[in-house]
A = this chain, B = another copy of it.
Amino acid sequence: MELLSQIVISVNPKLYVKNPETSELGRKIIQQSILLIDEIGFEAFTFKKLGERIGSNESSLYRYFENKHKLLLYLTSWYWGWMEYRMVFETNNISDPKQQLLKAIEILTEKIKDDTSTQHINEAVLNNIIIFEFTKTFLTKEVDQENREGFFIIYKKVINRLVLMIQAAKPEYPFAKSLASSIVEGSLHQHFLKDHLKTITDCNDTQSPTHFYQHLIEQILK
C-alpha cells in the first residue's frame, strides 16, 4: 500500500551532528549504510568502508554522525517512527477494538517486503537490519543514559500505542505492557529463528510470526 510518495519521519536531533536529510551526501549515507550493514553486519561495518562505497571520505561521514552506534540509533528510530505512522494510519478507521488490535499486530509483526515509502530508504532491507541489530542498540552499558537522552522514545511510543489497544480490547488484562513489548521484540526474534534456528520455532513460509501472535491474542482476549 502506498501511503505517501514522500513521507518525512522526524528523528531525535541528538542522534546526528548534521541532519542527513538536508544534503545529497547525507541521504547517500542513509541509503548506503542500510545496504552495507545488511550485507556485512553491523560489527564489520565501518565509516571507512561506507566512505569507499559512496565515493566519500571517512572524515566527511563523521560530520553527520558521531559514530556508527549513533547512525544505527538513527536508522532504528526512523524505522519505529515509520511503523508508528503506519500503525496510526492503517488502524484509525477500524472501530472494533479487537479488530484494531489484530491489525496493529499484523503491521508490527509482518515481514516488510516492499520498498515504497521513500526514495532513499529501502524499508525491506531496513527491516532485516532491525531483526538483526535493533536489540543490540539497547543491550549496552550506556542504555540508561541514552534512554534519558530520549534515544528510544519513538520505540516506546510504538509499544505504548499497542498497550492502549490491548487495554481497549481487554481492560482487565493485568500485563498489557509486558505483552506489548513481548510481541514486538518477540516477533523480531521469531523472524530471526525462522531463518537461522528453525528447530526452535513453528514459523516458516506458511506460518508467520503474525499468525502466532494473532492466535495468542485471541486466546488472551477470550
Contact = CB atoms under 8 A, between A and B. Distances in A.
A110 interface: no
Interface in A174-194: 174-182, 185-186, 189-190, 192-193
Contacts of A182: 182, 186, 189-190
- DSSP class of A's interface residues: helix, strand, loop or mixed? helix
Interface in A139-175: 139-141, 143-144, 147, 152, 156, 159-160, 163, 174-175
A140 B186 contact: no
Given A40-B141, A140-B43, A141-B44, A193 B181 contact: yes
Contact of A181 (B141, B185, B200, B222): B200
Q: Which of A178, A192, A201 lies at the interface centre, i.e. has the most chain B CB atoms within 10 A of its CB?
A: A178
Nearest to A40: B141
A156 B196 contact: no
Interface in A14-39: none
Contacts of A82: none
A48 to B, nearest CB: 18
A212 B135 contact: no
A197 B147 contact: yes
Contact of A216 (B147, B160, B193, B220): B220
A209 interface: yes
A68 to B, nearest CB: 12
A61 interface: no
A133 interface: yes
A-B CB proximity, top 10 nearest: A41-B141, A159-B200, A178-B202, A181-B200, A177-B202, A178-B212, A182-B186, A175-B202, A175-B212, A143-B196
27 contacts: A43-B140, A44-B141, A135-B135, A135-B139, A136-B136, A138-B196, A138-B197, A139-B192, A143-B197, A144-B196, A147-B197, A152-B197, A156-B197, A156-B199, A159-B200, A160-B199, A175-B202, A177-B201, A178-B193, A178-B201, A178-B202, A180-B200, A181-B201, A182-B182, A216-B220, A219-B219, A222-B222
